[in-house]
């Protein structure tokens, strides 16, 4: 038995139209070509599938049984074809994002992704940069959003946006710094609240301050940025707040204030990364475009 998908498609068209000529028109082939495929299908199953009557085509019992099977087979083929499409073009998109970006960017990005057929089958992985790079490398992710440029030539990155750092703390803590904006290098290390080693935000904050990991007074382990902001709001210290997180964290932590650093303001470059070997035609540029657009409302907040 050698049944082809073409034969099944022609057969289902015939069951739908109940007429050879109309079925041929639907399939955009000639009537003899369609008839030949139906005959080949009957030979393959060794049974008559259709009867010609004055009223049109009628299915035999074998034909009705085959119709059910054919619909299931072609439905599964449709699922398979869709699943094999490029990520973001109807296929599954495995996206990774660091924890200091995901809670702020995703609520803005998801409606845009769904509207553009990029997020219809979106799977998100939130993890630290090293874990995301590892999962991207071994194929468990298609693209990742990070704030540290990959050093491996096996990755390719495009910039999404510049996210400047703000200094956040209680009103009393910030007032204690004096009337003039304080440069990062002038901050008292004993006042800094930082994320644990491995969080690029904490490492970047130390870098712009010219400090080492042991210089800070309170290293918060695996705590989230939201946890640091709530501690800072209670007067326990100062922390670095990315601009994209400002709106959400100020609303969630009563008493938290944020001020801009003097120029040149410290910032991080948020980027979208894929494997250099991955075909990116269409979907990757679309994804980058959506991420950039989603970030804009978060970056427009005015800071004194």
Render pLDDT for 19-49 as a digit per residue (tens, 0 to 9). Answer: 999 999 989 999 999 999 999 999 999 999 9
- Residue with token string 């009103």: 171
Whether 260 and 155 map to the same domain: the answer is yes
Predicted local confidence at residue 1, as pLDDT = 62
CB 192 within 8 A of CB 216: yes
Instruction: Say yes or no: 262 and 298 in one domain.
Output: yes
Same domain, 127 and 73: no
Please give the pLDDT value at position 293: 95
Name the residue range of residue 15's domain.
5-83
Domain final residue pick, 83, 118, 138: 83
Q: Are residues 126 and 100 in the same domain?
A: yes
Looking at every residue in the chain, the average pLDDT score rounds to: 84
Most confident range, picked from 90-94, 138-142, 216-220:
138-142
Same domain, 33 and 67: yes
Both 11 and 65 in one domain: the answer is yes
- The total domain count for the chain is 2
**Token pair 């057929």: residue:** 117
Query: Domain boundary at 63, 83, 103, which?
Result: 83
Residue 223 near residue 196 (C-beta atoms within 8 A): yes
Cis bond before residue 132 (omega within 30° of 0): no
Q: Is the pLDDT of residue 95 over 90?
A: yes
pLDDT score of 139 more than 90: no
Q: Which of 83, 113, 132 represents a domain boundary (last residue)?
A: 83
For 178-193, how does the pLDDT look when each residue is reduced to its tens digit (9 = 90+)?
Answer: 766 678 878 877 788 8
36 and 72 share a domain? yes
- Give the pLDDT of residue 304: 46
44 Cβ contact partners less than 8 Å away, ≥ 6 residues apart: 1, 2, 3, 7
Q: What is the mean pLDDT of residues 73-87?
A: 66
pLDDT of residue 249: 94
Cβ count within 10 A of residue 157:
17
Report percent pLDDT > 70 for the chain: 83
Q: Which CATH number covers residue 301?
A: 3.40.190.290
């Amino acid at each position: 038995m050698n049944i082809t998908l073409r034969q099944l498609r022609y057969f289902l068209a015939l069951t739908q139209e109940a007429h050879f000529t109309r079925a041929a028109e639907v399939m955009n082939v000639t009537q003899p070509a369609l008839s030949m495929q139906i005959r080949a299908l009957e030979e393959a199953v060794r049974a008559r599938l259709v009867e010609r009557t004055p009223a049109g085509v009628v299915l035999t019992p074998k034909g009705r049984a085959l119709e059910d099977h054919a619909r299931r087979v072609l439905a599964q083929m449709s699922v398979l074809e869709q699943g094999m499409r490029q990520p973001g073009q109807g296929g599954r998109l495995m996206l990774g994002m660091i924890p200091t970006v995901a809670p702020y960017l995703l609520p803005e990005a998801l409606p845009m992704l769904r509207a553009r057929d990029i997020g219809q089958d979106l799977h998100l992985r939130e993890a630290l940069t090293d874990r995301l790079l590892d999962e991207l490398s071994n194929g468990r992710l298609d693209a990742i959003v990070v704030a540290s440029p990959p050093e491996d030539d096996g990755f390719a990155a495009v910039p999404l946006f510049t996210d400047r750092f703000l200094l956040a703390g209680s009103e009393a803590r910030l007032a204690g710094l004096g009337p003039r904006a304080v440069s990062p290098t002038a901050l008292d290390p004993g006042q800094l609240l930082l994320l644990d080693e491995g969080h690029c935000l904490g490492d970047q904050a130390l870098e712009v301050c010219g400090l080492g990991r042991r210089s800070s007074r309170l290293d918060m382990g695996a705590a989230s940025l939201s946890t640091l902001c709530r501690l800072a709001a209670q007067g326990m210290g100062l922390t670095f707040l990315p601009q994209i997180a400002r709106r959400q964290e100020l609303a969630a932590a009563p008493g938290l204030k944020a001020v801009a650093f003097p120029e040149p303001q410290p910032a991080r470059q948020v980027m979208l990364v894929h494997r250099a070997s991955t075909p990116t035609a269409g979907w990757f540029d679309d994804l980058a475009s959506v991420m950039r657009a989603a970030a804009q409302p978060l970056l427009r907040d005015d800071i004194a």
